[in-house]
Amino acid sequence: MAETLKIKDLPTDARPRETFMRSAEPEREISDASLLAILIRKGCKGSSAIDLAHRLINHFGNVAKLVEASWQQIVAAGIPGVGKVVAVQLAAAFALVRRNIKISHRSYARAVETSDDVVRQVRSVGVDESRECAYALYLDAKRHLLCEPMVVFRGTADKTFLHPREIFRHAIRLGAVSVIVAHNHPSGDATPSEVDLEETRRLVEVAELVGIPLDDHVVIGRGSMHVSIRGQQEWQGGE
């Protein structure tokens, strides 16, 4: 019987790890077995990591069932080369994914109704307190997030820039019904500057042109301090 081809013997453009590093969208462009092989790392005598990946998927029936398996169940599959160490590595990676999917679903299931909700969502993805960063929240018809708050610009310690093209390009791509923007003030003072107000007016004008309303612009200060510019007299897109 011919010896199984090892991954290192494959052409560089066919190796899972190298293919992953070149891919812009590995979750779409790379097979389940190749992704799993990267986690397995190495094969055993007569079997490459890709062979082991295929055997695991076949044993559990599909990847969805494998991802739900415990490390004990993976070991119990009895696949040579997939012992306790590999099983724990896989189960830990799967547990991390499951945990974050649950967190994301729970977070997205809550409607973004108030400026407090905006701050909570932005802080959930982390705020760089050393410089101003601009975030965009893209909402569906029920005001649920279509994705996690997106960083649309990273500025300096006292300056950011809300570029309408960047913000509404993603809104159109995601099919957003409305948009909320937010940015932080590293000084801790959430009072909107004249520049903040002027950029907000410009965003409102662009929002009206593209037909995707700008619901609010929230300035985030220290801790829970924040200001909703929609509540200011300078807001030009309010009711």
Q: What is the pLDDT of residue 12?
A: 60
pLDDT band at residue 206, thresholds of 50, 70 and 90?
very high
Q: Indicate the domain borders of the chain.
A: 7-108, 115-231
Question: For the structural domain made of 115-231, what CATH number should be given?
Answer: 3.40.140.10
Greatest mean pLDDT among 21-25, 161-165, 168-172: 168-172
What's the average model confidence in pLDDT over 130-137? 90
What's the average model confidence in pLDDT over 47-73? 91
Q: Say which range, 19-28, 52-61, 128-137, 223-232, has the weakest mean pLDDT.
A: 19-28
Burial level of 12, CB count in 10 A (0-12/13-18/19+)? exposed
Q: Say which range, 64-78, 97-111, 173-187, has the weakest mean pLDDT.
A: 97-111
Q: What is the pLDDT of residue 11?
A: 59
Residue 167, amino acid: I
Q: What is the pLDDT of residue 1?
A: 38
Q: What is the pLDDT of residue 13?
A: 60
Helix axes 194-210, 164-174, angle to 10 degrees: 40
Place of tokens 């799967």: 94
Task: For the chain, give the mean pLDDT.
Answer: 84
* DSSP SS3 for 227: strand
Q: Which helix (H) or strand (E) holds 174?
A: helix 164-174
Contacts of residues 56-62 at CB distance under 8 Å and 24 or more positions apart, as own/partner, are 56/82, 57/32, 57/33
pLDDT tens for residues 77-99?
999 999 999 999 999 999 888 77
pLDDT band at residue 233, thresholds of 50, 70 and 90?
low
Q: Which two tokens stand for residue 4?
A: 């199984």
Question: Has residue 158 got a pLDDT over 80?
Answer: no
What's the average model confidence in pLDDT over 99-107? 61
Contact 63, 90 (CB under 8 A): no
- Backbone phi and psi for residue 226, each to the nearest 5 degrees, phi listed first: -160, 160
DSSP 8-state secondary structure symbol assigned to residue 125: T
User: To the nearest whole percent, how much of the chain has pLDDT over 90?
Assistant: 47
Question: Has residue 226 got a pLDDT over 90?
Answer: yes
Q: Which two tokens stand for residue 171?
A: 């809104």
Contacts of residues 197-205 at CB distance under 8 Å and 24 or more positions apart, as own/partner, are 197/229, 197/232, 197/234, 199/161, 199/162, 200/162, 200/229, 200/234, 200/235, 200/236, 201/234, 201/236, 202/162, 202/164, 203/162, 203/164, 203/167, 204/235, 204/236, 204/237, 205/236
Looking at per-residue confidence, does 29 or 215 come out higher?
A: 215
Looking at per-residue confidence, does 203 or 103 come out higher?
A: 203
Question: Has residue 23 got a pLDDT over 90?
Answer: no
Question: Has residue 116 got a pLDDT over 60?
Answer: yes
C-alpha torsion 195→197→198→199, nearest 10: 80
What's the average model confidence in pLDDT over 204-222? 94
